[in-house]
Amino acid sequence: MNALIQRVVLSLLLCAFSPPTLQAADWPSYGGDNGSRKYSSLDQIDPQNVSTLKTAWVWDSPDNKTVAENIAAENFRAVPAGFKATPIVIDGVMYIPSSFGRIVALDAKTGATKWLFDTEAWSSGRPANLGYNSRGVAYWRSGDKERVFFATNDANLWSIDAETGEPDKQFGVDGKVDLAQGLGREIDRRQYGVVAPPLVSNDIVVVNSIINDGPTNKEMPPGHVRGFNPHTGAIEWMFETIPQPGDFGNETWEDGSWEYTGNTNSWTIMSADDELGIVYIPIGTPTNDWYGGLRHGDNLFAESLVALKASNGERVWHFQMVHHGVWDYDLPAAPTLVDITVDGRPIKAVAQISKQGFTYVFDRVSGEPVWPIIETPVPQSTVPGERLSATQPIPSKPAPFAQQGISDATLVDYTPQLRNEALQLIERFDYGPVFTPPSLRGTINLPGWGGGGWWTGAAFDPSTGLFYVPTASIPIVVQLEEADPEKSNLGYVRGGATDIGGPQGLPITKPPYGRIVATNLNNGELEWMVPHGEGIRQKIIDMGILDPGPVGGPSRTGPLLTKTLLFVAQVDNGRSVLRAFDKATGAVIHEIDLPLPPQGTPMTYSVAGKQYISLAIGGGPSSQLITLALP
């Protein structure tokens, strides 16, 4: 037998008796799975070859043509900002929505379009709150029926045949359900829509909402969460995030404020444990974000994580992270389902990050905190009519992953002069620890409404128990002023100063201004923290200050975790880049320059034994999906 034949026979034997390194893998849900772990066991792309990644294909959004026409007509309000969608992949087919609400099926190997369906959501005018912004779709299969579910900015839930791209005529009316109906009260649909993907679990399609965050009146749409029948579109259940009379929690809305208060919506990504039949809903702030004098009480289920039975929407357990919120500290990201071992005890847990920079960890069956969460006294409000909770729940573990509060420990101190200038700047306002409330003078909040944690979320490695969060340090000023009674009945609204600024154009706080934090959820301890990007390092050096090293920047997308690497994209001091990190240390292994700013969270999948990484980039006049693979 010659050498060539020997090699062929050996290869065949290896194929027959050895499992391949890379199995075919889908990315069937926005977060990789319904547990939102953003993790894949794929390992073809590894630390040794990641530097050879090349562009496999690029898909141009069909929105680009419409945007160009709108710009030509000087209709600048009809232009989306960032392209923030993350695609899903099922059996070699990729599904992704555009910012304008067009649903597209692509060949995941080549990027070729298989079909396109236009919901025409964009033609309804600029959507509530975030403008044109659609982050994902959901997939469902029952027998030979395959559907893609998509909830639009103009408040419709669509069911699309995954094979043909045509609406399912048996679903709702001609394939869609009007989400502005059935909320228990009449609403102004211009204030209401959806940006998050639906969540499909146990043959129920769960849909949340986004509601205008800048109301002019206290009467706003409620953020109730609903479960729909995937065959017919009928409402199977509705969980009222603002409890009605006779329901648990209604007493936390004093003086009848449950009747008119709105928002209290889950606007971000939801999660589910399909085996337990439980969905986990992160809920936001009531109307309005900064003043609660018209809604006294703790305001359940605002700023709470709520576990519901997927079958009927019945509450299993809940935990409120912010009592009577006035900081816009709504829960921003998907809860992450994590299986951990604490003190030798295996726990099916759920980890919820917050804008404050906390990670709350619960037994996902019982809702019991894994580590104590302590009700801690907090500063009280001086605003007329306001009545805050005397305490707020602070996790004992893990430690915060973001800077919190304004104090000597957080102020910039590159030089004594810069520190003195920072001290003078903060003395114009009220400041203190996290949960220092808004005031008429103006209060510095750190983190501000942009986090800390953000909608881009976290990732979890089931093999190590490490939990990864890209985070930012963005202080804001919240100054309240009396609302004009001829324009608003809100009592007090945000106005005046909104930004603290910083000495000589630098941030007011110490670096890092962006970081990636890895926490071991088996013991609640910090594993490592690294600055996320170079940030304004060169600017600091140019000022004659000793090189501080990388200081990080506030831009971040969600993390993507594989068996071998951690990926996070960023706009770093004007440079658009996707980085591959060592999962164990946070060291940067490789950087990939991107042609447009990254906006969506990366995802990964394989087709025919080849691993790919896809990422939404750009926005405005040019939105693309870029897909990378090894040569």
Is the CB of residue 190 less than 8 Å from the CB of residue 128? yes
pLDDT at 1 over 80: no
* Integer Rg of the chain from CA: 24
Helix (H/G/I), strand (E/B), else coil: 566: strand
Contact indicator for 427, 403 with CB cutoff of 8 Å: no
- Which amino acid, residue 433? P
The predicted model scores a pTM of 0.95
Containing H/E element for 582?
none
Question: Rounded distance, CA 306 to CA 284, Å?
Answer: 11
Q: Encode burial over 103-132: b for 16+ CB neighbours within 10 A, e otherwise.
A: bbbbebbebeebbebebebbebebbbbbbb
Average pLDDT value for residue range 363-374: 98
CA distance 264 to 356: 18
The pLDDT of residue 129: 84
Q: Which of 3-17, 49-63, 477-491 has the lowest mean pLDDT?
A: 3-17
| 264-314 confidence digits (pLDDT tens) | 999 999 999 999 999 999 999 999 999 999 999 999 999 999 999 999 999
Return the domain boundaries, the chain: 34-263+398-629
Q: Which pLDDT tens digit goes with each residue over 109-158?
A: 999 999 999 999 998 888 888 889 999 999 999 999 999 999 999 999 99
Percent of the chain whose predicted confidence (pLDDT) is above 70:
96
Residue 76: what pLDDT? 84
Give the mean model confidence (pLDDT) for residues 237-253: 98
Say if residues 303 and 283 touch (Cβ distance below 8 Å).
Answer: yes
Select from 2.140.10.10, 1.10.10.10, 2.60.34.10, 3.20.190.10 the CATH code of 34-263+398-629.
2.140.10.10
pLDDT tens-place string over residues 48-98: 999 999 999 999 999 999 999 999 998 888 899 899 999 999 999 999 999
Q: Check pLDDT > 50 for residue 10.
A: no
Can the peptide bond before residue 358 be classed as cis, meaning omega within 30 degrees of 0?
no
User: Cβ neighbours of residue 233 under 8 Å, at least 6 residues apart?
Assistant: 157, 159, 171, 172, 176, 177
Q: Which residues contact 209 (CB under 8 A, 6 or more apart)?
A: 155, 179, 192, 193, 194, 221, 223, 225, 265, 266, 267
Please say if the pLDDT value at position 12 is more than 70. no
Report the pLDDT averaged over residues 525-530. Answer: 98
Of 67, 104, 72, the closest CA to residue 89 belongs to 104
Rounded-to-10 torsion of CA 324, 330, 334, 335: -30
pLDDT digit string, tens, across residues 603-626: 999 999 999 999 999 999 999 999
Taking all residues of the chain, what is their mean pLDDT, rounded to a whole number? 95
Omega of the bond leading into 512 within 30 degrees of 0 (cis): yes
Distances (CA, A) of 560 to 496, 563, 604: 39, 10, 8
Distance from C-alpha of 175 to C-alpha of 136, rounded to nearest angstrom: 18
- CA distances to 19, 96, 100, 188, 610 from 8, rounded to whole Å, are 17, 41, 52, 69, 22
Is the CA virtual torsion 317, 322, 328, 333 positive or negative?
negative
Instruction: Check whether 2 has a pLDDT greater than 70.
Output: no
| Residue 229 pLDDT exceeds 60 | yes
